[in-house]
Amino acid sequence: MSLQTDLDRVEAANAGGKPPVVFIHGLWLLPSSWQRWAEVFAAAGYAPVVAGWPDDPETVEEANAHPEVFARKSVGQVADHFCDLIGRLDRKPAVVGHSFGGLITQIVAGRGLSAASVAIDPAPFRGVLPLPISALRVASAVLGNPANYHRAVPLTYEQFRYGFANAVTEEEARELYATYAVPASGEPLFQAAAANFNPWSEARVDTGNPDRGPLLIISGERDHTVPWSIANASYRQQRDNPGVTEIVEIENRGHSLTIDSGWREVADTALAFVERFH
Mean pLDDT (whole number) for 255-265: 98
What is the reported pLDDT for 65?
95
Q: Which of 129, 135, 89, 127 is nearest to 106 (CA)?
A: 127
CA distance 104 to 158: 27
What is the reported pLDDT for 259?
98
With contact defined as beta carbons under 8 Å apart, do 160 and 10 qualify? Answer: no
With contact defined as beta carbons under 8 Å apart, do 265 and 156 qualify? Answer: no
Mean pLDDT (whole number) for 157-186: 97
User: Considering the chain, what is the average pLDDT of its residues?
Assistant: 95
Please say if the pLDDT value at position 238 is more than 70: yes
CA distance 217 to 236: 11
The domains of the chain, with CATH numbers, are: 3-277 (3.40.50.1820)
CA distance 76 to 246: 25
> pLDDT, tens digit, for every residue of 13-65?
999 889 999 999 999 999 999 999 999 999 999 999 999 999 999 999 999 99
| pTM beyond 0.95, yes or no | yes
Please say if the pLDDT value at position 8 is more than 90: no
How much of the chain exceeds pLDDT 70, in percent?
A: 99
Please say if the pLDDT value at position 101 is more than 70: yes
What is the reported pLDDT for 142?
92
CA distance 12 to 88: 11
Q: CA 260 from chain center: how many Å?
A: 15
10 Å CB burial of residue 136 (0-12, 13-18, 19+) is: exposed
What is the reported pLDDT for 55?
94
pLDDT tier for residue 1 given thresholds of 50, 70 and 90:
low
> pLDDT, tens digit, for every residue of 63-78?
999 999 999 999 999 9
What is the reported pLDDT for 43?
98
> pLDDT, tens digit, for every residue of 179-220?
999 999 999 999 999 999 988 999 999 999 999 999 999 999
CA distance 93 to 3: 19
Contacts within 8 Å (CB) and 24+ apart, 175-181: 176/256, 176/259, 176/260, 179/60, 179/259, 180/29, 180/30, 180/32, 180/33, 180/60, 180/259, 181/28, 181/29, 181/60, 181/154, 181/155
Which letter does DSSP use for residue 67 in this model? G
As a residue count, the chain comes to: 278
Which amino acid is it at 77?
Q
Please say if the pLDDT value at position 2 is more than 70: no
